[in-house]
Amino acid sequence: MSPRTARRLVPMLALVATLAAPALGGPAAEPAPPTAEEARAFLASAERDLLDLWTRAERAAWVLSTFITDDTEKIAADARKDVIAATMKLAAEATRFDGLKLPDDVARKLMLLKVSLSLVAPSDPAKQAELAEIAASMEGAYGKGTWCPAGGGCLDIGEIEKRLAATRDPKEALDLWLGWHAVGPPLRPKYERFVTLANEGARELRFSDLGALWRSGYDMPPDAFAAEVDRLWSQVRPLYESLHCYVRSKLQEQYGKDLVPDGKPIPAHLLGNLWAQEWGNLYDLVKPPADDPGYDPTSLLRAKGLDARGMVRYGEAFFGSLGFAPLPATFWERSLLTKPRDRDVVCHASAWDIDWKDDLRLKMCIEITGQDFVTVHHELGHNFYQRAYNRQPPLFRNGAHDGFHEAIGDAVALSITPEYLAEVGLLDRVPPAEGDLGLLLRMALDKVAFLPFGVMIDQWRWKVFSGEIPPSGYNAGWWALKEKYQGVAPPAPRTEADFDPGAKYHVPANTPYTRYFLAGVMQFQFHRALCEAAGQSGPLHRCSIYGDRETGAKLIRMLEMGQSRPWPDALEALTGERRMDATAILDYFAPLQRWLDEQNRGKACGW
């Protein structure tokens, strides 16, 4: 995740302009009509001021994430408050250019000022300060969250996740799940107030609520974007339902039908992940008979004696093989790659560009595992994207849309194939294709299982922001959507005394989440296009673009566009297509889909 896409506080335009007061002693003089030249000058000044404020806020947010204290929460809140205050002031001033015929680049910048914001506040300075403090305190409280079981020491989220991934004892899994989800209830009153204040700010900007503002950031009307998400989900839902049916049958074999009944949602604590968002930790329970891919990524990495820095060096080298320049020396000096022993940090992986130019950093508590190897490539995708567009004007220094930012590193990580591992010396020989079914299933347990989760998080928040889900129904609404999209049920009775959404980082951190669903779709669309550009015609899951500088140059050209053009233009530059398309996922997993359907024959699928 890039914190820029999570925290970027860009000014908005839709405030009502203040009417000029009439001069004493006579009628008010008509103000001179604004000009395109004045609009351009206004934006140049605004971008200089905002770039300075964004950098200060990003620096404060970095300190908060890597050194969580009451003081760093306050410093980050103050920096965020300053950005919000400047946002509202510039928005009021900028309305004078509404309706003016403008050059395309000026008009686009003004449009982005309206829709590129994930958090807005009312114009009242006291409410701005309150919202900034709530936002910082929620993220800090999540980062400091622990579970302290009776008779033992306290566990942080990293240790809880490890134990849940490994256990096959349903009682232990339930205790771990409940233990972490206890982090949510103290956040509930803060989140209710957060929603009230953020919606008030959005309405001042002439959006119906914060969710409508978020959905307006995709070069299309909010309702059209919601329909686009539904269309993409409908393309991939049959593959997900096949995977769900197969996994449920295997869990029934492990735990019995009393705990995992036919035709019902799967209890969330049995899926090896605190949020049931990825199921790869279940692989040993669901693997196919001929599952041996010929290697284990984690074992390969540990056999090399790699440390966290070595893991990142492999990721840097992959991008280097495509023609990207090496990471700056300051990246290695300033990044946080392992969990400190002496302080609280937010271990959730994220990529940073502190000065919006070349102060690139990675924040991640890296473990030497195959999963973290992939995550490193994902996060570096953000960093190399950030640097690729750093010559654009400040308002264009972002991904074509937020899904692009998340998809780039994942698309590159799809090239972590046996062929790639052999080429970089991690694997002695490329194994035969007989083990590919296991590789595909292992990947589907994470990437395909994630897709409905990627949809439902913001489905919940959009309904919360609009009032369709009121505070009195926060938790019930959450579980209704988890059942609808994921086919997952709570492992124990839940009430409105609970606040299970607060146990997922992106909710207290106010990070829009649909981007991850879009990235789950687009990474395969990008991968297919890059493989075609590289002239590779074999199975899509065996394609690696490692070392192909010509294909890398095509990728770099698209990244350099930043947000200077509507996202269909950027998509077309890389893929030749102007519409997001999930069929590449179906192409990638086609052999697995056929096998799953065979395994599910005669079973009661659905929920």
Q: Where are the alpha helices (DSSP H) in 205-296?
A: 210-215, 222-255, 283-286
Distance CA 314, CA 289 (A): 32
Active site residue 406: yes
Catalytic pick among 505, 516, 546, 588: 516
How buried is 141 (Cβ within 10 angstroms: 0-12 exposed, 13-18 middle, 19+ buried)?
middle
Nearest to 40 by CA among 103, 112, 86, 114: 103
Q: How many CB atoms lie within 10 A of CB 99?
A: 8
Distance CA 488, CA 66 (A): 34
Catalytic pick among 244, 269, 348, 377: 348
The amino acid present at 571, given as its one-letter code, is L
Helix (H) or strand (E) holding 296: none
Active site residue 86: no
Distance CA 187, CA 262 (A): 35
Distance CA 570, CA 32 (A): 38
Active site residue 348: yes
Distance CA 217, CA 199 (A): 16
Beta strand segments in 161-232, E: none
- Interior/surface letters 273-282, b for 16+ CB within 10 angstroms, e for the rest: bbbbbbbbbb
Active site residue 541: no
Distance CA 329, CA 307 (A): 18
Catalytic pick among 58, 139, 200, 379: 379
Catalytic pick among 181, 269, 377, 378: 378
Catalytic pick among 406, 449, 474, 489: 406
Active site residue 378: yes
C-alpha to C-alpha distances, 426 to 301, 365, 375, 417, 429, nearest whole angstrom:
7, 22, 17, 11, 9
Catalytic pick among 244, 377, 382, 401: 382
Distance CA 4, CA 386 (A): 9
Evaluate whether 9 touches 90 at the Cβ level (below 8 Å). Answer: no
Active site residue 37: no
Residues with Cβ within 8 Å of residue 459, at least 6 apart in sequence: 481, 485
Helix (H) or strand (E) holding 147: strand 146-147
Catalytic pick among 244, 269, 506, 527: 506
Catalytic pick among 36, 349, 573, 590: 349
Active site residue 244: no
Active-site residues, by number, are 348-349, 378-379, 382, 406, 506, 516
